[in-house]
Amino acid sequence: MPTGQYQFFATCPRNTEGLLYDELRALGSTGVAETRAGVSFSGPMWSAYRACLWSRVADRILLRLKSFPVSDLTAGLDGVYEAVHAMPWEDHLDAAGTLAVEATSTIRQGLLARLNTHFAEQRVKDAVVDRFRAKTGTRPGVDLVRPDIRINLHLTPAEGVVSLDLSGDGLHRRGYRIAGGEAPLKENLAAAILLRAGWSQTAATGGALIDPMCGSGTFLIEGATMAGDVAPGLTRDYYGFLRWKGFDSNSWRELVREAGERRESGLRRLPTLIGYDFDRRAIGSARANVRRAGFAGRIMLENRDLATLTVPKSAQPGLLVTNPPYGKRLGETTQLVDLYETLGERLRESFSGWEAAVFTGNPDLSAYLGLRAHRLNVLYNGPLECRLLLFHIGRPRSGGASRAARPMKQDGTEGDDGSTTRPSGATMFGNRLRKNMRHLRRWTVREDIHCYRLYDGDLPEYAVAIDLYEDWAHVQEYAAPASVDPVRARRRLKEVMATVPQVLEVPAEQVVLKVRRPQLGTDQYQRQGWEGRMMEVREGGLRFLVNLTDYLDTGLFLDHRLVRRLIRDLATGRRFLNLFAYTGSATVYAAAGGAVSTTSVDLSSTYLDWAQRNLALNGLSGPKHQFVRADCREWLTRAATQVGSCGTPVYDLVLLDAPTFSNSKSMSGTLDIQRDHADLIRDAVRILAPEGVLIFSTNCRRFKLDAAINRRFAATDITKQTIPPDFARNPRIHACYRILPTRADTEIGYFDADGSLESGLPPTTEPPGPQLSGGHDAG
């Protein structure tokens, strides 16, 4: 082989060309020029060997052998065959050797635009073996894994280039990786990330490297090779030049010897390197890879959850780097929001003075970190466009304490340094909770209220409802509209969940969160969990079982508190019917009020069992209390027909509190209360005694009573009188009507002249606030 200067081309991951350019110049290469997806350079053969051994960023090192104009390829792949066949392959390979071919093309127009690169590889292989057969009578074999030489054909609109792949295999394969976990990052991309993050400079000053989600340990091993001046190719046992006829073994041995000496010296000055992962299998893979790379005992690995991440006492401020899952790797985006939020929280709370580098393929998830990147780089993990976000964590402000270190007043403004700031949103939310508690405290004591709504979207930024059930808090988040930034909404919800236990002085485990979304089409609120945890609460001198965890609604609708009181006061000596009975809370009130009998109808056996337990809890069980599992519409139609045939009314007091919508599989058809309420009311009135009373209630926010009901019956809107003070901000929470069988101009004595209930409740003085989407259907 001729000696002297050679032309080379180093390929690399997209957008890392600048890093590779700097790297090759530092390795002593000459004629270095950056191009797209790689860097060209020139020099003696040992410069290519050195690049193979020391480059942290390159994918492959190619020795350029021949180029030819694309205009020479008018015959298509036959032209490629002729160009390759004319080359002296016997100078590179023995006839008994092996070869492999790889072809790439950037031609998008003309005859070669439809080129099948696999077919091109076949034609190049044919050209080489046909030349050998013609000259020697024998031909080389094919080895796709570890051939003696690997030929590279690259076609561009300007030229075709034939090269030898001196790396033989991707240089990212360092030789230490046994297992890569679920979604391993290529080693040269990991190295590029560390270089972009300034790890070399950080390591030189003794700074530590921590990866809190280390997986197979790639960042840590690459970081160790950088900090320890270890050639990344030192652990490889295969290169494309080792069996090439032009291989200079003396030059190679000298380069390897030098690299070994530098490694021994560099390992003595390694800084702290620590990796954590919650997956024990990942930690096992990382330990095996660390041993193979020669860093056993020099990289600390530990099974640890991200939520417990802190800075070890022995670690000097340095770089935290991580490649968390981003929805295209290990899980869906919605399942990873908590992880990104937790990472951001741990960085803010424990890593002041550190640098952080977060590599992600999902910019939406990175927003949940809650940190502002000072630099952003676009890199590619294979074909996937990703972002490398670089952060300065908690840098103290010059001339004074950082914001985190400044004392905070109780009103949320910053300390006594003469400055004033607007209270934070979380502080204002906490202040509103305290205000509401003071406002409602006297009423709850006087009325013996133990379950009530404390907060109902008072501040538009914090769109939640908070109900107290004895010493538990039930938080419902109203799903934000598409116009609201989901990251900001998520952050505010976390502020809510952090503030509620502090202000209410309840344990965090006694704060239950649910998300209430508007019903769409035939959707219905589904069961939320299966804990089966019942707790006993008090209301109106009675006791009820509620479940705060398993269902969106709890079993006791607090806005119907006054409706239940009305039922109790009207029930004395009457036969009571509870349609769509749900958990039977109204039935308990009727029984406690002296009803001579009660009948509770519901389609759900679960709710009917719950209702029976509520009655038993109050010592009200007995044969006069009947429970009927049936479709309420069908049951009511049959009952009304039977009454019509025999002329004998069955009930003196009926509560009809149907859901807004239902499409239960056990039903025939669907129930739409706006569409169906007139028929339900007419049938309910037919089974009423002449002096009977029907209480109709609905949580349909846009409900409008059918005009025919007003014309036929004595229907009185008592909604205002049945909205309790704790729901005054949301007067559309339900609509309620008292309906008598015949029209009448007088009101029953239960109501005062001004329309308020004879309950002694204080008038509601606080004006209604903004209306929230969602709602519930009582039973």
Chain segment 759-773, per-residue pLDDT in tens: 333 333 333 333 333
The Cα 24–Cα 43 span in angstroms is 11
pLDDT of residue 36: 85
The Cα 715–Cα 611 span in angstroms is 29
Look up tokens 């160009």; give the residue.
83
Q: What is the mean pLDDT of the chain?
A: 86
In Å, what is the CA distance from 644 to each residue of 524, 536, 630?
Answer: 35, 42, 20
The Cα 357–Cα 375 span in angstroms is 10
The Cα 535–Cα 512 span in angstroms is 13
pLDDT at residue 342 greater than cutoff 80? yes
User: What's the rounded mean pLDDT across residues 139-167?
Assistant: 94
Give the helix/strand (H/E) hosting 492: helix 486-504
Strand pairing category for 671-672 and 651-657: unpaired
User: What's the rounded mean pLDDT across residues 315-339?
Assistant: 79
Q: List the beta bridge partners of residue 66.
A: 162
pLDDT at residue 727 greater than cutoff 50? yes
B/e letters for 482-519, b = 16+ CB within 10 Å, e = fewer, are: eeeeebebbbbbebbbebbeebbebeeebbbebebeeb
Q: How far is CA 223 from the centre of its chain?
A: 29
Look up tokens 């297992």; give the residue.
179
What's the start-to-end Cα distance of the chain, in Å?
92
pLDDT of residue 747: 39
Calculate ∠ Cα 606-612-616, nearest 5°. 145
- In sign, the C-alpha dihedral spanning 566, 568, 574, 578 is positive
User: At a CB cut-off of 8 Å and minimum separation 6, what does 397 contact?
Assistant: 403
Lowest-pLDDT choice from 632-641, 647-656, 715-724: 647-656
pLDDT at residue 1 greater than cutoff 80? no
Strand pairing category for 535-539 and 542-546: antiparallel
Question: Quick check: 611 and 582 in contact, CB under 8 A?
Answer: yes
For the full predicted model, state whether its pTM sits above 0.85: no
Look up tokens 């490297």; give the residue.
209
Q: Which residue has the higher pLDDT, 424 or 55?
A: 55
pLDDT > 90 in the chain, percent: 71
pLDDT at residue 643 greater than cutoff 70? yes
The Cα 465–Cα 772 span in angstroms is 9
- In sign, the C-alpha dihedral spanning 142, 146, 149, 154 is positive
In Å, what is the CA distance from 52 to each residue of 60, 174, 176, 192, 233?
Answer: 8, 11, 16, 16, 7
Question: Quick check: 160 and 222 in contact, CB under 8 A?
Answer: no
pLDDT of residue 761: 34
Please report which confidence band the pLDDT of residue 647 belongs to, taking 50, 70 and 90 as the band edges: low
B/e letters for 670-695, b = 16+ CB within 10 Å, e = fewer, are: ebebeeebeebbbbbbbbbeeebbbb
Burial group, residue 87, by CB count within 10 angstroms (0-12, 13-18, 19+):
middle
The Cα 301–Cα 278 span in angstroms is 11
Q: List the beta bridge partners of residue 54.
A: none
User: What's the rounded mean pLDDT across residues 710-737?
Assistant: 94
pLDDT at residue 704 greater than cutoff 70? yes
Question: Quick check: 630 and 567 in contact, CB under 8 A?
Answer: no
User: What's the rounded mean pLDDT across residues 335-353?
Assistant: 91
CA-nearest of 331, 281, 326 to 301 is 281
**φ, ψ at 211 (rounded to 5°):** -120, 110
User: What's the rounded mean pLDDT across residues 55-67?
Assistant: 97
Strands (E), 570-713: 575-579, 597-602, 625-629, 651-657, 661-662, 671-672, 688-698
Q: What does the DSSP assignment read for 323-338?
A: ----SSSSS-GGGTHH
Which tokens is 763 given?
A: 């008038």
DSSP reduced 3-state for 455: strand
User: What's the rounded mean pLDDT across residues 85-99?
Assistant: 96
- pLDDT tens-digit map of 95-119: 999 999 999 988 776 655 566 788 8
Lowest-pLDDT choice from 65-79, 377-391, 477-491, 546-560: 65-79
Q: What does the DSSP assignment read for 55-97?
A: -SS-SEEEEEEEEEEGGGGTTTHHHHHHHHHTS-GGGT--TTS
Q: How far is CA 81 from the centre of its chain?
A: 53
In Å, what is the CA distance from 252 to each residue of 165, 256, 639, 777?
Answer: 16, 6, 98, 80
Q: Which residue has the higher pLDDT, 155 or 532?
A: 155
The Cα 179–Cα 289 span in angstroms is 7
The Cα 413–Cα 529 span in angstroms is 40
Q: How many CB atoms lie within 10 A of CB 36?
A: 8
User: At a CB cut-off of 8 Å and minimum separation 6, what does 359 contact?
Assistant: 185, 193, 321, 322, 323, 379, 381, 386, 387, 388, 389
Please report which confidence band the pLDDT of residue 453 belongs to, taking 50, 70 and 90 as the band edges: very high
Q: Name the amino acid, one letter, at 277.
A: D
Give the residue ranges of DSSP H helices in 505-631. Answer: 561-570, 585-592, 605-617
pLDDT of residue 483: 72
Q: What does the DSSP assignment read for 280-304?
A: HHHHHHHHHHHHHHT-TTTSEEEE-
Question: Quick check: 189 and 13 in contact, CB under 8 A?
Answer: yes
pLDDT of residue 516: 65
Question: Quick check: 567 and 547 in contact, CB under 8 A?
Answer: no
The Cα 576–Cα 356 span in angstroms is 67
- pLDDT tens-digit map of 661-697: 887 766 667 899 999 999 999 999 999 999 999 999 9
Which tokens is 235 given?
A: 């652990």
Question: Quick check: 699 and 777 in contact, CB under 8 A?
Answer: yes
Strands (E), 317-383: 319-322, 355-360, 375-381
pLDDT at residue 434 greater than cutoff 60? yes
Q: Name the amino acid, one letter, at 176.
A: Y
In Å, what is the CA distance from 700 to each residue of 261, 545, 672, 674?
Answer: 80, 25, 10, 8
| Max intra-chain CA distance, the chain | 119
Give me the half-sphere count of Cα atoms (radius 13 Å) on the Cβ side of residue 325.
19
- pLDDT tens-digit map of 740-761: 997 543 333 443 434 344 433 3
Lowest-pLDDT choice from 181-185, 469-473, 483-487, 571-575: 181-185
- pLDDT tens-digit map of 594-618: 999 999 999 999 999 999 999 999 9
The Cα 510–Cα 451 span in angstroms is 14
Q: How far is CA 367 from the centre of its chain?
A: 11
pLDDT at residue 725 greater than cutoff 70? yes
- pLDDT tens-digit map of 235-282: 999 999 999 999 999 999 999 999 999 999 999 999 999 999 999 999
